[in-house]
């Protein structure tokens, strides 16, 4: 077998066999297939797609490229969630303690952010002392004791994805439904959870720009999970607008804590609604409850303070300093003003995401340094009436704030 044969088959619209897909994944991961050949096949997949069977074989080969985490020493049904990535998406920080407060073990491995998409690990690392690198034993002990642990992905978890994702990122092949489905599901399955709730983002700030594409991705991921014996539910949510009021690592941790503490004026109802939906789905999958019972249980732990108590217990258990969950002053702060009177229609999530990267809240490359305190506070959200010259957002950064960034945020606001 060689790569030339695989190119020919793919070009003629034929399906690749499991053996051919294994040959590609194994060869690329171990270095016997060079980048230029792998990128050629990835582009063919990006343009011509993959059948469900090919996508399944790709996922399986990627899982088998590295370690699979064994969570059997944790009692109970282990539930995980995954978001396909968005702007201001701090849902994991909120729903994991809600679920843990309901007594369901949450054993979650999360990633760092790249581009406009933030990562849970960066957000948690913005808290002084918080440890995201846990040994397997520490991770399992924390889940058994506190019902929650969130850690960075271990070194040898799906090494095929690390190499393939890095190549896709620089060859224009990220936005492919089969490649995204295999990338996400291989990591979720290798992470060992019994059930997975998928939050598929759709809109300007997401990989999937239309409902139709988002539905295809959701269906592809659900089918893979079910074929591999996991309980999976997918939910499609809006990413035309950023979620909540804060974008930026520490700012999002502070917002998550405010929401869990019931300080609704410091956050926005879109975030609360989304968190109730996702945690209700997680509870339905894990506990087999119906929607009404699960949603009532979620609201109960939010209202009686047990979700915020669990959040604080989790932060302390992983070495974080609760006193550091505060918005720090930054060297620079700029108020962005409304350019016209009106009611805010949409706030373009893509532009807000790009501006947050320019402020230092996100990475352009894996090596970029982050400014944990940098970010954007959306003072006006969709549906709010504003007047010309009124402050619609604040920008925070320890870097100089460029006029271009200020203009970008102003332009992100469209008046209805
Ligand atoms: N997130 C992933 O983990 N993989 C992708 O391919 C896209 C988003």
pLDDT-derived band at 185 (thresholds 50, 70, 90) equals very high
Q: What is the pLDDT of residue 171?
A: 87
Indicate the SS3 state at residue 335. Answer: strand
Catalytic-residue membership of 168? yes
Q: Are 134 and 318 in contact (CB under 8 A)?
A: yes
Triad 269, 270, 275: Cα angle to 5°? 95
Mutate to test the pocket of ligand 1, among 108, 114, 174, 220 (most ligand atoms within 8 A of CB): 174
The helix/strand/coil state of 338 is coil
Q: What is the pLDDT of residue 335?
A: 98
Farthest CA pair distance, the chain: 66
Pocket test for ligand 1, best of 55, 62, 63, 85 (most atoms within 8 A of CB): 85
ipTM beyond cut 0.95:
yes
Q: Which of 122, 161, 238, 240 is catalytic?
A: 161
For each of the domains in the chain, give its residue range(s) and CATH number, in order of start.
3-62 (1.20.970.10), 79-323 (3.40.1030.10), 332-415 (3.90.1170.30)
Residue nearest to ligand 1 atom 6, measured at CA = 180
For 147-229, strand residue ranges (E) read 148-152, 195-202
- Asked if 183 is an active-site residue, the reply is yes
In angstroms, rounded to a whole number, what is the distance separating the alpha carbons of residues 171 and 165?
Answer: 10
pLDDT category at 146 given cuts 50, 70, 90 is very high
pLDDT band at 321 (very low <50, low <70, confident <90, very high): very high
3-state secondary structure 107-163: EEEECCCECCECCHHHHHHCCCCCCCCCCHHHHHHHHHHHCEEEEECCCCECHHHHH
pLDDT computed for residue 382 by the predictor: 96
> Among the residues of 49-90, which ranges form H helices?
52-63
What tokens appear for 79 in the block?
Answer: 């539930």
Pocket test for ligand 1, best of 184, 185, 191 (most atoms within 8 A of CB): 184
Q: Whose CA is nearest to atom 5 of ligand 1?
A: 180
- The catalytic position among 112, 147, 168, 188 is 168
Q: Is 374 helix (H, G, I), strand (E, B) or coil?
A: coil
- Name the percent of the chain in helix, strand, coil, to the closest 5: 50, 15, 35
Tens digits of per-residue pLDDT, 262-308?
999 999 999 999 999 999 999 999 999 999 999 999 999 999 999 99
Burial class (CB within 10 angstroms; exposed 0-12, middle 13-18, buried 19+) of 134:
buried
Strands 342-347 and 385-386, by their bridges, are antiparallel
Pocket of ligand 1 (CB under 6 A): 84-85, 165, 174, 179-180, 183-184
When pLDDT is cut at 50, 70 and 90, the band that residue 112 belongs to is confident
* 8 Å CB contact between 153 and 25: no
Task: Please report the pLDDT score of residue 364 as a whole number.
Answer: 79
């Amino acid at each position: 077998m060689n790569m030339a044969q695989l190119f020919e088959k793919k070009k003629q619209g034929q399906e690749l066999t499991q053996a051919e897909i294994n040959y590609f994944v194994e060869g690329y991961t171990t270095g016997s297939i060079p980048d230029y050949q792998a990128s050629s096949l990835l582009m063919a997949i990006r343009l011509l797609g993959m059948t469900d069977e090919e996508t399944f074989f790709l996922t399986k080969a990627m899982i088998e490229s590295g370690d699979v985490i064994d969570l059997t020493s944790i009692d109970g049904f282990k539930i995980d969630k995954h978001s396909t990535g968005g702007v201001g998406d701090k849902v994991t920080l909120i729903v994991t303690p809600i679920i843990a407060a309901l007594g369901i073990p949450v054993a979650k491995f999360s990633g760092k952010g790249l581009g406009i998409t933030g990562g849970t690990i960066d957000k948690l690392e913005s808290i002084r002392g918080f440890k995201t690198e846990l040994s397997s034993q520490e991770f399992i002990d924390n889940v058994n004791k506190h019902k929650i642990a969130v850690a960075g992905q271990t070194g040898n978890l799906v090494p095929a994805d690390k190499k393939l994702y890095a190549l896709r990122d620089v060859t224009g092949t990220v936005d492919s439904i089969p490649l995204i489905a295999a990338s996400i599901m291989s990591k979720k399955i290798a992470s060992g959870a019994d059930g997975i709730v998928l939050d598929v983002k759709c809109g300007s700030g997401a990989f999937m720009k239309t409902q139709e594409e988002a539905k295809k991705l959701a269906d592809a991921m659900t089918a893979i999970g079910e074929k591999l014996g996991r309980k999976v539910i997918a939910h499609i949510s809006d990413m035309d607008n950023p979620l909540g009021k804060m974008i930026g690592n520490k700012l999002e941790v502070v917002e998550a804590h405010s929401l869990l503490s019931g300080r609704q004026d410091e956050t926005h109802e879109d975030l609360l609604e989304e968190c109730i939906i996702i945690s209700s789905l997680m509870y339905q999958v894990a506990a087999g409850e119906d929607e009404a019972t699960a949603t009532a249980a979620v609201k109960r732990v939010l209202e009686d303070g047990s979700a915020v108590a669990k959040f604080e217990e989790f932060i302390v258990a992983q070495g974080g300093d609760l006193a550091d969950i505060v918005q720090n002053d930054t060297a620079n702060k700029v108020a962005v003003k409304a350019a016209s009177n009106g009611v805010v229609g949409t706030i373009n999530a893509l532009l807000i995401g790009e501006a947050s990267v320019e402020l230092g809240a996100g990475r352009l490359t894996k090596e970029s340094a982050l400014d944990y305190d940098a970010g954007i506070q959306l003072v006006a959200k969709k549906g709010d009436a504003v007047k010309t010259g009124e402050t619609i957002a604040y920008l925070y950064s320890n870097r100089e704030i460029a006029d271009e960034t200020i203009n970008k945020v102003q332009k992100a606001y469209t008046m209805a």
